């Protein structure tokens, strides 16, 4: 599904990615682990074409993502759901409206919105927060809402960039369980984290990065 071929990214003062090659198969759950500055976020931005490689190629299926024109890049990004550490919710919209907004952006009808939003909120155990604003919700609830928004348009891939970085252990566990559930339903998941506890909880493939290099790629057994 995703293929990095000898990808490097060099900034003026640092190397973020150093000649990395790996493949993520459709339906996999891959955790990318490493300290701050290891290159994890740059790696995920390459998939979205938010960053351009200094060298090498990034493919989504057979598509070279950095050769896409804007219209086609928009189509590609609609196949990917993104979850951020700081939620990036719309503070002036309720839980329902945050998700409805994401559906409206891809042209979904009002009937589809009314049908699908309650269902996805139930999936992340937020049915009771339907008409609450983000500032009326806990950090864990806000992140669950962010996940609901990311999956509402049924993307093929979820990128979760340090989604538990601001959460306590209980909420961290809940977020990991939801991501595992999404993966069990067939969605590919790439999770970046520096939390070893999260890695052990997921118990799937782990790519370890250090100074822009992949130093280990291991598959955990259940």
Interhelix angle 95-104/139-151, rounded to 10 degrees, is 20
Residue 50 sits at the vertex; the CA angle it makes with 21 and 165, to the nearest 5 degrees, is 80
Quickly list DSSP for 103-134.
Answer: HHTTT--HHHHHHHHHHHHHHTT-GGGTT--G
Q: Tens digits of per-residue pLDDT, 161-219?
A: 999 888 888 889 999 999 999 999 999 999 999 888 888 889 899 999 999 999 999 97
pLDDT in the model for residue 66? 95
Question: Quick check: 222 pLDDT over 50?
Answer: no
Distance CA 184, CA 188 (A): 9
pLDDT on residue 28 = 96
The model's pLDDT over 39-76, given as tens digits with 9 standing for 90+, comes to 999 999 999 999 999 999 999 999 999 999 999 999 99
Distance CA 178, CA 167 (A): 14
pLDDT at 165: 86
Mean pLDDT, residues 4-12 taken together: 95
pLDDT at 158: 97
Superfamily of 1-79+178-222 according to CATH: P-loop containing nucleotide triphosphate hydrolases (3.40.50.300)
pLDDT one-digit tens code per residue, 67-122: 999 999 999 999 999 998 888 999 999 999 999 999 999 999 999 999 999 999 99
Tokens describing residue 13: 């003062």
List the one residue out of 60, 82, 72, 89 whose CA is nearest residue 1: 60
Whether this model's pTM surpasses 0.85: yes
- Ranges of each domain in the chain: 1-79+178-222
Does the structure show a pLDDT above 50 at 2? Answer: yes
pLDDT band at 220 (very low <50, low <70, confident <90, very high): low
């Amino acid at each position: 599904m995703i293929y990095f071929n000898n990808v490097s990214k060099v900034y003026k003062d640092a190397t973020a990615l150093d000649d990395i090659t790996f493949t993520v198969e459709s339906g996999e759950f891959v955790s990318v682990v490493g300290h701050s500055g290891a290159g994890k976020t740059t790696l995920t931005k390459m998939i979205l074409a938010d960053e351009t490689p200094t060298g090498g190629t990034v493919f989504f299926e057979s598509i070279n993502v950095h050769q896409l024109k804007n219209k086609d890049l928009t189509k590609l990004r609609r196949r990917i759901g993104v979850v951020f550490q700081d939620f990036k919710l719309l503070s002036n919209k309720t839980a329902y409206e945050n998700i409805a907004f994401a559906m409206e952006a891809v042209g979904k009808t009002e009937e589809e919105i009314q049908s699908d939003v309650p269902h996805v909120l139930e999936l992340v155990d937020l049915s009771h927060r339907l008409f609450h604003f983000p500032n009326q919700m806990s950090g864990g609830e806000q992140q669950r809402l962010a996940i609901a928004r990311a999956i509402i348009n049924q993307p093929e891939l979820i990128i979760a960039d340090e989604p538990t970085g601001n959460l306590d252990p209980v909420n961290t566990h809940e977020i990991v369980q939801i991501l595992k559930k999404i993966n069990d339903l067939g969605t590919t998941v790439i999770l970046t984290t520096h939390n070893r506890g999260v890695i052990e909880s997921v118990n799937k493939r782990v790519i370890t990065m250090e100074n822009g290099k992949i130093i280990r790629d291991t598959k955990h057994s259940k």
